[in-house]
Amino acid sequence: MLMEQRAHRKSNAVSWRGPLVPCVDEYIRDVTTRKEHFIIRQSSATKAEVEGLSERHEVDIENHTCTCGFWQIAGLPCIHVAAFVGSKHHTLWHTYVDELYYSYRYRMAYEGAISTLPGKEQWTLLPDNQFVFPPVTIRPRGRPKKRRIKSFLEGSQK
């Protein structure tokens, strides 16, 4: 099942023509169509304040940061970044996307192969006098002991 899934994803990735994974292209199309409701106050070529209906965020496209935090966490430009970049009429969206969303990275992830496992009939049998021991465990048997220190209100009753 895992090998089939990898083969399917690898064959899908071969047909991708753009620099980004298709779901990221779709996300960017969606974000860029919703960016009109923002007021942009640009402070430099790479920094701006983007104000929406109820919030205000600082965007720095040079450091890939926005105060909403989505760009830093997801690696994709948030709607505030889209509003700022869209106001500059810059269309190279793949420069604002983290490298892990590029098509070539996806292809690299599924490039290798999973080695197959032998069938049950091909397993080597152990001689009768050899015993396989259970794995060594660090945790002792039974319920773990309480290690917390009781507060003075609880008293020392057991």
Residue 3 in this model has a pLDDT that exceeds 90: no
Quote the longest CA-to-CA distance of the chain: 80
CB atoms within 10 A of CB 50: 26
Burial per residue of 94-113, b for 16 or more beta-carbon CB atoms within 10 angstroms, e otherwise: bebbeeebbbeebeeebeee
| Burial of 65: CB neighbours in 10 Å, binned 0-12, 13-18, 19+ | middle
Strands (E) located in 21-141: 39-42, 47-51, 56-60, 65-66
Give the pLDDT confidence of 8-28 residue by residue, as tens digits. 888 888 899 889 999 999 999
**pTM for the full model?**
0.68
